[in-house]
């Protein structure tokens, strides 16, 4: 396994920067898209804010990390998390699902 992509529901108000710091123990990171993305050369986190009627009571967090990077690249990691987040938003992950 070289690439890990995970999604989870988090408490409203969690930031990508705090998630990346906590999960990867990284404090020197960059932000993009108004702070909704935090990234470094081998990992990135985004948060989709869930607000309004018919949504879950949590936000959605996406974590992408490479375990055995052949080449570390901040720009590629930023582009990957940005694209993945846009695609996930189209699936409306915040909506409550009828069980």
**For residue range 23-70, what is the model confidence (pLDDT) as tens digits?**
888 889 999 999 999 999 999 999 999 988 778 789 999 999 998 766
* DSSP-assigned letter for residue 24: H
Q: Identify the band that residue 77 occupies on the pLDDT scale cut at 50, 70 and 90.
A: very high
pTM for this entry = 0.88
């Amino acid at each position: 396994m070289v690439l890990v992509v995970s999604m989870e529901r988090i408490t409203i108000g969690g930031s990508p920067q705090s998630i990346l710091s906590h999960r990867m123990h990284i404090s020197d990171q960059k932000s993009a898209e108004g702070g909704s993305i935090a990234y470094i050369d081998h990992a990135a986190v985004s948060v989709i804010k869930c607000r309004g009627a018919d949504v879950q009571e949590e936000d959605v967090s996406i974590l992408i990390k490479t375990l055995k990077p052949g080449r570390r690249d901040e720009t590629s990691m930023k582009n990957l998390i940005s694209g993945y987040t846009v695609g996930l938003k189209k699936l409306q992950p915040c909506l409550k699902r009828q069980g």
